[in-house]
Amino acid sequence: MIVSLVSPSSTKIERLHSLPFRTDHMAASVFATISELYAKNLQSKGVKLLTESSGFGQALCCLYENLGKPVKLEDIRSYVMKAGIYLSDGGDPLQVRHLALQYGYNMLKGGEINPITREKLPRFSYMLLDLENPYPAFMSKRRKVEASADDWVTVKSQYGNACVNCGSKEGEAMRWESYKITVLQQGHMDPRKPLTLDNMIPQCGFCNQQYKNKAVFNERGCVIDYNKNGFTLE
């Protein structure tokens, strides 16, 4: 919004806000568009649905209105507060970065490289890339059911068809046994629990054999518990 402040001694134009003025109708229309694209492209991929009345929902509206452009954190904050959402002073009470890793929206944060311009985003800024693809590192929550063959293909693709521990790519030479071709196996995140869809990670044969039932992993393959004697099924 640009407002002209005119006085007898000055015709200076001062920028009061860096983002355009929005009516409630415009804001609702933006969120409706986001909801349509979410249902079309992201819902089936496990990306989490936001509500229009939440801080995250309004932050996403702000980023969508500036799709493909970096937006300063202070501008996102101002946008959200204009929607009537209270935010505490200082820092980043919105935690905008969580829209990517925890909620699954395909965006960049300050310091990361814009894939189009190849330029680094300014500090304390965020940019929404699209509403067609999930954030590459996002792991959708999986169900506690026995995995089908199609489920296993999906799980492997979420990990780039690579071993979660050493990175060996399926169909290529194994990292630690280069004379063998990687065939990914269904590994337990937690060996104390059944091998259900929500407890499954892809491992190469070498890593699966090395860890056996001794390690508990998070969904990114980091060891969070270890028992040298091995865990038993609960």
User: Mind listing the pLDDT tens digit for each residue in 202-229?
Assistant: 999 999 999 989 999 998 899 999 998 8
> What pLDDT shows up at residue 143?
57
Report the mean per-residue pLDDT for the chain.
Answer: 84
Per-residue DSSP letter, 42: I
The Cα–Cα gap between 104 and 88 comes to 25
CA atoms within 13 Å, Cβ hemisphere of 82: 20
Residue 17: the pLDDT is 36
Sequence-separated (6 or more) residues with CB below 8 Å from residue 193: 199, 233, 234
Confidence at 198, pLDDT banded by 50, 70, 90:
confident
- Of 21, 14, 20, the closest CA to residue 4 belongs to 14
Helix (H, G, I), strand (E, B) or coil at 128: strand
**Under 8 Å CB-to-CB from 51, ≥6 apart: which residues?**
57
pLDDT, one tens digit per residue, over 88-143 is 776 667 889 999 988 899 999 999 999 888 999 999 999 999 999 998 878 766 65
Asked if residues 47 and 105 have their Cβ atoms less than 8 Å apart, the reply is yes
Q: What is the pLDDT of residue 231?
A: 81
pLDDT, residue 18, reads: 44
Helices (H), 132-186: 149-158
pLDDT for 33 equals 95
CA dihedral 148, 170, 154, 213 (to 10 degrees): 60
Token pair of 119 as six digits: 């330029």
The token pair that represents 19 in the structure block:
């983002």
Please say whether the beta carbons of 217 and 189 come within 8 A. yes
**In the chain, what are the domain boundaries?**
2-128, 149-226
